Structure 1
Amino acid sequence: MEFKVFWSKEKNIPIIVDEEKDMIRIKTENLTFISNDLRPVFIEEKHLLKILFGWDESIYYKSIWATKQGKYIVDGVLKRESFIKHIKKIENIEKFREKILGFNPNKKMKNIEESILENFIKENREHLYYLLHSEDIDEEGFLVGAYPFIEKAVEIYKNRIPMVSFSGGKDSTVVSHLVRKGLNNQEILHIFGDTTLELPDTYKYVKKFKEENIFTPFFDERNEENDFFQMCKEIGPPSRVKSWCCSIFKTGPMGTTLSNFDEEFLTFYGVRRKESASRSKYKKLGKTPKIHGGLVTSPIIDWLDIEVWLYILSENIMFNEAYKKGFSRVGCWMCPNNSDISQFLSKIYVRKDSNPEINFDSEDWESFLYEFGEKIVKNYYIKNKIDIDEDKLKIEVKEYVEKSKWKARQGGEGLEKSKDAVIRKKECVNEKNSFLFQLNRNIDIEFITLFKPFGSMIFINKKEIKEVIILNSKEEALFKLLYKDKEREVRVTLIDIEDKYLFGKIVKQLNKFNTCIYCQACNSTCSFGAISVTNGKYEIDENKCVHCLNCITKFESGCLVASALKIRIEDGE
């Protein structure tokens, strides 16, 4: 069933309908198609639009909704003003910011907004009932209604502990409320992956949520051992091509905590297919290696943005204030996947002067991007032996930052750490299927640990030389390693030459050894909780490891950092 958003001229609000099923209502009430999806625009964002577009005072009292493309519908009329074009015209961001932050809505504005939203709730009440209680079966064979679906999922997986993955965004807020209300149980475990990069309003909201839901067990998980800014300096900022931050600062820490539990979980989260092309392929219920216990489900996977808001407003649920300010999503504020609009809003709202509790803000981030951009641009000209004067350098660096070219970067060109991303290899003449690798750090116990996922090991000591034979689950030899402790050369000899992927997997573990900075991303690669990366140690619990090799194949180069730096293998003579 495909729902779309129509406009009621009489009620001056959007109405969610099934174009085929609700044809009579569409004709009777003279509804007109307006958009595939919408979100409400609150008073705070209306004020921003007034200042940005130069609209008059009446804008505060109109019914305004935004499309996913960033266009605004005012009293049923699509406005053509471009948000992006207008922010480029702002000459003084500080003066503009003062006008935004100094706004206080009056009682009349609040009353009008409340009236508009009440009408929206009233006219869409029947549709919300369908979303919550329908016994229809969807294309995957699951119940459509959120409440019966949740009850059935918990019944089928009664041996698993129900848990909510809570981000502080509107979708996980709705899922949290649905699960607790649907199961009539306030004691559902919640876990919040604190990336340390959340919007200030997100931290305020999470704090209020915990205060208002004292019977709901709540885990805050964060990576205490790595600093985002420092990592950006070492391996470059995350990009849309290599978004390394989520694994290190969200799923990694969550995986670390959940691996300490012997129980398995049924994790409810707020993923929706309409959010992006990649998420359109997600299943309503399925396994995931990202969360220990590995079974995740989203009762709102087919909901629209406007349906999420319909539930929040109908149930009068507290939500993240960032949405009122115009943020369409409230993840990490410097995420490379953020829109230009979100990037602009961060310049207004993510500042230390208005949020003294934060460690760094949008000004710090912009300064870093300029420093990084200069390093990248300079490296390009030096590498290609081209001279560049200071004026041209400044122009190109400004363009690199303002046109967000950093979001498209890949590899470690211009970074000192990229030198660790080079593995030197040469084929051995004296032994068939053998290769010598030159590593960038001394071989130690951790080196051997990284080969545990392949299977069991046989250790043979030959005076100074150590020999390790790695066996598979059938006790068949796969390959052997020859090395000396505290040296940097290792000989790899393939024994199972039928496995055409074996060599590549071995190289991935060598990459991992070379570039590992104990970022904790590997913690989320194991569904069995066998990997523990904490306190500068990489450990694998052999009693938990099932030798699935997911920890090796998960990342392109075997290691997230190695993938971000783009590993190179240089053949020797």
Structure 2
Amino acid sequence: MSDLEQTAIERLKAASDMSLRLFEKPLVITYSGGKDSDVLLHLAEKSGIPFEVLHSLTTADAPETVRHVYDTFRRLEEKDVKCTVDKHVQPDGSRVTMWNLIPRKLMPPTRVVRYCCAELKEGGGKGRFIATGVRWAESTARRKNRGSLEVLHSNRQKSLILANDNDEGRRLFETCQMKGQRVINPIIDWQDDDVLDYAAVEKIPMNPLYCEGFHRVGCVGCPMASKARTMEFARYPRIKAAYIRAFDRMLEERKKRSLPCQWQSSVDVFHWWMRDGVLPGQEVLDGFEEDV
């Protein structure tokens, strides 16, 4: 067993113990269908801890990703592992989707304003101890703002973030009285090659898109995907059309509220969005800050 694998499994076991003591419920493994969450899930199985699995449906994932998630869940359910797909159903019975979020927020999701992640990915597992596949290597922001153990507060500055999960840190974490979602990130210190090499050695079933040259398998068209977005929309024209329809409803909402708008059509919005959301000479479009 490698040091990385051993440390990750120790983190999962410690989090499992805390979850059972603090919440009297098993640890929840958050599962996106990407390589990090597949490795995380394999580690959870290998650790022998009791756990449940949660997938947050974004409605903008590639069909291959959705099929991979459901195939994985069928395999786990055969082992009596509880698997849940969060479809973001509201008290009135309606659902939150990418396609109704955009008109409600009055703007497309951008690198700076990532409301889609907050509402479609990060809201699951409330009142539970969750494990995620977050890694420092994914971005500078994550290296600065994320830790192996976290108590997340709605005000990020009030969150408890522990980069060192030694015995002293774990005691501090477990006795912390601050309210907020408790999170373990077992592979926080893994590099990209560590994830891919481990998946290959352990023969972990992976999302088939990785075999087709995809480096990420998040929401199709995510602004964080940079140059890959053009290729994604060429492959998934129906999802591109869904974004354009959502932008059309967004424009209608902006007009109803008499908000300033420099776009003439939903296609204009799409082209602006594909240019990373910044027009020449502009940092923020007038009215962008409205209702976000």
| Aligned twin of 1:339 | 226
2:287 aligns with 413
Structure with the greater alpha carbon radius of gyration: 1
Match of 1:301 in 2: 188
CA contact (8 A) 1:322 1:330 kept: yes
The alpha carbon displacement at 1:210 in A equals 1.2
Cα distance between partner residues in 2 of 1:338 and 1:173:
20
Classify 1:401/1:172 alpha carbon distance in 2 versus 1 (closer, same or farther; 3 Å): closer
Aligned residue for 2:54?
191
Q: Kindly tell me: are residues 331 and 410 of structure 1, through their superposed partners in 2, closer, same or farther at Cα, counting changes over 3 Å?
A: farther
Aligned to 1:482: none
Q: Which amino acid aligns with 2:219?
A: C
Instruction: Determine which structure has the larger strand proportion and give its number.
Output: 1
Post-superposition Cα deviations, 1:40-85, rounded to whole Å, max 9, x if no partner, equal: xxxxxxxxxxxxxxxxxxxxxxxxxxxxxxxxxxxxxxxxxxxxxx
Q: Helix, strand or coil: the match of 1:334?
A: coil
Mark the CA change 1:219 to 1:380 in structure 2 (over 3 Å): closer, same or farther: closer
Q: How does 1:313-462 map to 2 (within 5 A)?
A: 313-341=200-228, 343-352=229-238, 361-366=239-244, 400-405=272-277, 410=284, 413=287
Counterpart of 2:4?
A: 131
Q: 1:155 to 1:324 in 2, by over 3 A?
A: same
Q: Is the 8 A contact 2:260 2:286 kept in 1?
A: no
5+ long unaligned stretches in structure 2: 155-178
Q: Partners in 2 of 1:396 and 1:221 — Cα distance?
A: 33
- Aligned match of 1:242: 113
Q: Show CA shifts across 1:220-262 (max 9, x none).
A: 112232343233234121112221112222333x25xx45xxx
Tell me how far apart the structure 1 counterparts of residues 129 and 103 of structure 2 sit (CA, whole Å): 38
**C-alpha displacement at 1:204, in angstroms?**
0.5
Q: Counterpart in 2 of 1:229?
A: 99
Deviation of 1:307 after TM superposition, in Å, equals: 0.5
| Contact 2:30/2:132, CA 8 A, preserved across alignment | yes
* Aligned-residue offset at 1:401: 4.8
Report 1 or 2 for greater relative contact order, CA contacts < 8 Å, sequence distance ≥ 6: 2
Indicate the residue corresponding to 1:208 in structure 2.
71
Spell out the pairing of 1:24-103 with structure 2 (5 A cutoff).
none
**Aligned partner of residue 2 in structure 2, secondary structure:** helix
Query: For residue 60 of structure 2, what is the amino acid of its counterpart?
Result: L
Q: CA deviation at 1:299?
A: 1.5
SS at match of 1:220: strand
Residue 164 of structure 2 aligns with which residue?
Answer: none
* Residues 166 and 401 of structure 1, relative CA distance in 2, 3 Å threshold: closer
Secondary structure of 2:122's counterpart equals: helix
- 1:218 aligned onto 2:83: yes
- Of 6, 16, 21 in structure 2, the residue corresponding to residue 159 of structure 1 is 21
Work out whether residues 286 and 295 of structure 1, in 8 Å CA contact, stay in contact via their aligned partners in 2. yes
Once residues 381 and 267 of structure 1 are traced to their aligned partners in structure 2, the CA distance between those partners, rounded to angstroms, is 42
Structure-2 change in CA distance of 1:403 and 1:372 (3 Å): farther
Structure 1's 350 and 409: CA in aligned 2 closer, same or farther, altered over 3 A?
farther
Offset, 1:148 = 3.0
Partner of 1:268: 131
Q: Following TM superposition, by how much is the alpha carbon of 1:304 offset from its aligned partner in structure 2, in angstroms? A: 0.6
Match of 1:171 in 2: 36
Matched residues in 2 for 1:381 and 1:365: separation? 18
Q: Give the distance between the partners of 1:409 and 1:370, measured in 2 at CA.
A: 23
Tell whether the 8 Å contact from 2:55 to 2:86 is kept in structure 1 after alignment: yes
The residue aligned with 1:148 is 10
Q: Is the 8 A contact 1:273 1:301 kept in 2?
A: yes
Deviation at 1:302, TM superposition (A): 0.6
Superimposed CA distance per residue, residues 280-302 of structure 1 (whole angstroms, 9 cap, x where no aligned partner): 02111121237x96211111111
Alignment of 1:470-489 (within 5 A): none
1:412 deviates by 6.6
Structure 1 residue aligned with 2:45: 180
Unaligned runs of 5+ in 1: 1-127, 134-144, 260-264, 353-360, 383-389, 422-561, 565-573
How far apart are residue 131 of structure 1 and its match?
2.0
Say if 1:273 and 1:280, in contact at 8 Å, map to a contact too: yes
Do the aligned partners of residues 397 and 272 (structure 1) sit closer, same or farther apart at CA in structure 2, a change above 3 Å counting? closer
State the alpha-carbon separation in 2 of the partners of residues 222 and 411 from structure 1: 32
Q: Secondary structure at the match of 2:215?
A: coil
Q: Which amino acid aligns with 1:230?
A: N
User: Cα RMSD (Å) of the superposition?
Assistant: 3.7
Q: With the length of structure 1 as denominator, give the TM-score of the two structures.
A: 0.39
Q: TM-score, structure 2 length as denominator?
A: 0.71
The offset of 1:411, in angstroms, is 6.4
CA–CA distance in structure 1, aligned partners of residues 240 and 117 of structure 2: 19
Q: Distance in 2 between matches of 1:381 and 1:350?
A: 27
Structure showing the higher helix proportion among its residues? 2
Candidates 287, 293, 297, aligned match of 2:151: 287
**Is the 1:200–1:350 Cα contact (8 Å) retained in structure 2?**
no
Matches of 1:396 and 1:293, distance apart in 2: 41
What SS is found at the alignment partner of 1:172? Answer: helix
